[in-house]
Amino acid sequence: MSDEINMTISIPTDADGYVLLRCEHCGTYFKGTPSDLKDDGVLHIFCPSCGLISENYVTEDVLELAMKMAKNAVKDMIYNEFKKMERHSTRGIITFKTGKRPKHENEDPIRSGIEAMEICKFPCCKRTAKIKPLLKMTGAYCPFCGVKNYEIE
Ligand SMILES: [Zn+2]
Ligand SMILES: [Zn+2]
């Protein structure tokens, strides 16, 4: 077991590598990849729902969720390490029993809304973002140039 847990508490990316953002104006959640969001070619990030630019897309609840997700990840990590020790120490002098898997902190309320997002390709910028399926149907502003796209793949 490594005695060091390296973890950067930043906004965690999801399984597809997207980070969660929230529009200050309309409260819509959407996701983008860090490489697109930090790209020099992208001057502003536009909300896919209202098309406005927010000063700050990382809001309190996003941070709070990030912290909870990080905490849960750490809990799992520790649990898995203990589980490994348990397996390796069956013949040793020390008997070691791992308890139940730790209960995760509830990552709601926003998590359910986040998981329903779909990856969309914005043809104008050839970049992707994750948005709600409803937005995809009604048309969404490209987060990278602010142009409204109606046919999104
Ligand atoms: Zn908005
Ligand atoms: Zn665009």
What pTM was computed for the model?
Answer: 0.68
Ligand 1 geometric centre to CA of 88 (Å) = 52
- Does residue 125 sit in helix, strand or coil? coil
Give me ligand 1 centre to Cα 53, in Å.
8
DSSP state of 108: T
Per DSSP (E only), the strands in 35-89 are: none
Question: Are the C-beta atoms of 140 and 125 separated by less than 8 Å?
Answer: no
Spell out which residues have Cβ within 5 A of ligand 2, the ion.
Answer: 122, 124-125, 142, 144-145
Task: Name the pLDDT band for 108 (thresholds 50, 70, 90).
Answer: low
3-class state of residue 112 by DSSP = helix
Residues 123 and 149: beta-carbon distance below 8 Å: yes
Ligand nearest to the CA of 148: 2
Go through the chain and tell me how many residues it has: 153
Bridge partner list, 111: none
Ligand closest to 30 (CA) is: 1
pLDDT at 94: 58
Question: Binning pLDDT at 50, 70 and 90, where does residue 110 land?
Answer: low
| Predicted local distance difference test score (pLDDT) of residue 11 | 63
Nearest ligand for residue 39 CA: 2
pLDDT, greater one: 28 or 114: 28
Q: Residue 15 Cα, ligand 1 centroid: separation in angstroms?
A: 24
Relative to the alpha carbon of 36, which ligand is closest? 2
> Which residues make up the environment of ion ligand 1, defined by Cβ < 5 Å?
23, 25-26, 28, 47, 49-50
E strands, 3-54, in order: 19-22, 29-32
Percentage with pLDDT > 70 across the chain: 78
Residue 7 predicted with pLDDT over 60: no
Name which residue leads in pLDDT, 73 or 138.
138
Average of per-residue pLDDT across 10-31: 86
Q: Please state, in angstroms and rounded to a whole number, the distance separating the CA atoms of residues 36 and 45.
A: 10
For 73-77, 85-89, 115-119, which range has the lowest pLDDT when averaged over its residues? 85-89
pLDDT of residue 113: 60
Checking if the pLDDT of 8 tops 60, the result is no
Sorted by where each begins, the domain ranges of the chain are 19-78+107-149
Chain centre to alpha carbon of residue 133: 17
> Which residues does 2 contact at the CB level (< 8 Å), separation at least 6?
none
DSSP helix/strand/coil, 140: strand
